[in-house]
Chains A and B, each alone.
Chain A
Amino acid sequence: MKITTELIAHISQLSRLSLPEGEQAAMAAQLERIVDYMDVLSRLDTGDIEPMSHVFPVRNVLRADEEQPSCDREALLANAPARDEESFLTPKSVE
């Protein structure tokens, strides 16, 4: 199928990626080749086979409702690129 620059723009926005102008066409061409190749799957008649998201029939893996100590806040914030004493900081994110 044709991977248009509009489609690239759409999925780039969904992925929060902005390819430089120069890279967009090459990326579109590569993805088109890859997606065309993936179309071999349509040769396989999968009918109403149940899509397999989990390879093992494991079910109901649950934990008891028990409170565990939380992490030290400093340890969680230590890696933040922008922070104050108690929070992660971002540019304006509320209306």
Chain B
Amino acid sequence: MNWETVIGLETHVELATKSKIFCGCTTRFGGAPNTHCCPVCTGMPGALPVLNQAVLEYAVRAGVALNCHITRYSKFDRKNYFYPDLPKAYQISQLYLPIAVGGRVELSTPSGTVSVGIHELHMEEDAGKLVHDPWTDQTRADYNRCGVPLIEIVTQPDFRTADQVIAYLEQLKETLQYLGVSDCKMQEGSLRCDVNLSVRPLGSRELGTRTEMKNLNSFKAIARAIDYEARRQIELLEQGGRVVQETRRWDENKDATYAMRSKEDAQDYRYFPEPDLPPIELDEGWLARLRAAQPELAPAKRARYQADYGLPAYDCQMITSDRVLAQFFEGLVELGAPAKQAANWIMGEVLGALSARGMEPREMCLSAGTLARLIALVEEGKLNRNTAVKVFEAVFDQDGDVDAYVRAHGLEQVNDAGVVQAAVERAIQAHPQSVADFRGGKEKVFGFLVGQVMRELKGKADPKLVNTLLRQVLGGT
């Protein structure tokens, strides 16, 4: 029998606010255990939550970007369950009136466009971290992460393959980073994904029994877990077995999923409206202003760069892979750099320098003004490209002054034909064998001779001029 895999995702994203969702403690990742905590986020008796307005704003921004309907009258609810990482024994979340519902995103994948429905997006608080110490057989509870704001984005079961899931997550990550609402770092847990998966005979319209997979810490783990779990369910059904609805944990080392004991307990979260938080009623004017201030997202930028600047699709993809890079590119163009030159510098030198330093674009010190000046000097013929790369390396880390550096190191391009002519002649005299080889038909030697001329001029000569004059001299004798 042919089987079809049906997948839906629940993605938790930590929002990049300064303070937690219901108190003023920092959201910074890491920190010594229990040092980013207060009575509110550790659930002390009598402490009360107050909603951080940036959380509301970020959630609405994300909802708008995912083409959701924004709920005008929204509420928080309590989700009740006992676990030591949840100090109040309830999570403040949204069940009945989530902030955004009914969205849709279009994915382009190698096998075509896929349309994915967004069931809902809601705000909630993160839980703490538990670390088990096998020596003492005790679990340590660290509440630093308690109350870090989350949005949970729940899709419809619209995925059929792991590739589609990865494409969605990449697009989601890009979108949320563009909006500036999250840094989406999977390794720090700021983007976490649970996968709901079932299988059914191809052509069937009914959904099979699904399992929920947790502990998926990378895109690679997600893809492998999907393949594993689909295979497991298909084999089970083909052998006449039955899929049990349960939560399964992905074990990275064993490359397998297994049922989680702690979730066996039939869950009944006894949701009810959070009495400590008044409802949220969104004003149309506020919403309109927020929509207007919504930044241009990557797909729109890509289309615009292709149309306005005639950049190749590949370049557009590279430059828009990060909002800071795209802004940097736009800055260069605005300051007069030719678009293609700007793109080449970003894809080559800028990304190279960042990667060599292990830095993210947002950590880069170099300003668009500095690079634009460098590009202009090359365009004006005042620096040659190779020298410009050296200048780039010199100014990159501290956003140095290009003109000052060029002056201080005497790097201006030599465009004086007389000076170049003299250097050509000196090179020819110094390498008679090479000249003879060239004239004997070894065209390759020409490059060597160009190099010698450039060396004479400390690399600063205009390469075009060197070429022309060298050919004249060699050909003319």
At the interface, is chain A mostly helix, strand, loop or mixed?
loop
Cα distance, A63 to B273, chains bound together (Å): 20
* B277 surroundings in chain A (CB, below 8 A): 61
Question: Is B140 close to A, CB under 8 A?
Answer: yes
Question: Is B35 close to A, CB under 8 A?
Answer: yes
The answer to whether residues A13 and B17 also contact, given A86-B32, A94-B139 and a CB cut-off of 8 A, is no
Question: Is A4 close to B, CB under 8 A?
Answer: no
Question: Is A90 close to B, CB under 8 A?
Answer: yes
Q: Which residue of B lies closest to A14 (CB)?
A: B268
* B261 surroundings in chain A (CB, below 8 A): 95
Min Cβ gap A70→B in Å is 5
* B85 surroundings in chain A (CB, below 8 A): 93
Question: Could you tell me if A87 and B141 are in contact, using CB atoms closer than 8 angstroms?
Answer: yes
Question: Could you tell me if B278 and A61 are in contact, using CB atoms closer than 8 angstroms?
Answer: yes
Question: Is B309 close to A, CB under 8 A?
Answer: no
Question: Could you tell me if B84 and A93 are in contact, using CB atoms closer than 8 angstroms?
Answer: yes
Across the interface, B37 reaches (CB within 8 A) one of A51, A59, A61, A71, namely A71
Question: Could you tell me if A93 and B278 are in contact, using CB atoms closer than 8 angstroms?
Answer: no
Q: Which residue of A lies closest to B274 (CB)?
A: A53
* B275 surroundings in chain A (CB, below 8 A): 53-54
Question: Is A43 close to B, CB under 8 A?
Answer: no
Write out, one digit per residue, whether chain B residues 69-92 have a CB within 8 A of any chain A CB (1) or not (0).
Answer: 000000100001011110000000
Cα distance, A70 to B147, chains bound together (Å): 13
Min Cβ gap A62→B in Å is 4
Across the interface, A65 reaches (CB within 8 A) one of B52, B82, B139, namely B52
| Interface size bracket, B side | 35 or more
* B83 surroundings in chain A (CB, below 8 A): 93
Min Cβ gap A42→B in Å is 20
* B249 surroundings in chain A (CB, below 8 A): 95
User: Which residues of A43-95 are within 8 A (CB) of B?
Assistant: 51, 53-54, 56, 58-71, 73, 76-77, 82, 84, 86-95
Question: Could you tell me if A70 and B35 are in contact, using CB atoms closer than 8 angstroms?
Answer: yes
Min Cβ gap B80→A in Å is 8
Across the interface, B39 reaches (CB within 8 A) one of A54, A58, A71, A90, namely A71
Q: Which residue of A lies closest to B141 (CB)?
A: A88
* B52 surroundings in chain A (CB, below 8 A): 62-65
Question: Could you tell me if B24 and A94 are in contact, using CB atoms closer than 8 angstroms?
Answer: no
User: Which residues of B22-58 are within 8 A (CB) of A?
Assistant: 23-26, 32-39, 42, 44, 50-56
* B141 surroundings in chain A (CB, below 8 A): 87-90, 93
The answer to whether residues A66 and B281 also contact, given A61-B51, A89-B138 and a CB cut-off of 8 A, is no
Across the interface, A94 reaches (CB within 8 A) one of B23, B130, B280, namely B130
Question: Is B132 close to A, CB under 8 A?
Answer: yes
Across the interface, B18 reaches (CB within 8 A) one of A66, A86, A90, namely A66
Cα distance, A76 to B143, chains bound together (Å): 11
Across the interface, B26 reaches (CB within 8 A) one of A60, A61, A67, namely A67
Q: Provide a sorted-by-A list of 28 A–B residue pairs whose CB atoms are within 8 angstroms.
A: A13-B265, A14-B268, A16-B82, A59-B278, A61-B51, A62-B56, A63-B50, A64-B52, A66-B19, A66-B24, A67-B25, A68-B38, A70-B36, A70-B37, A71-B37, A71-B38, A71-B39, A76-B39, A76-B44, A82-B138, A87-B140, A88-B143, A89-B141, A91-B139, A93-B83, A93-B84, A93-B85, A94-B132
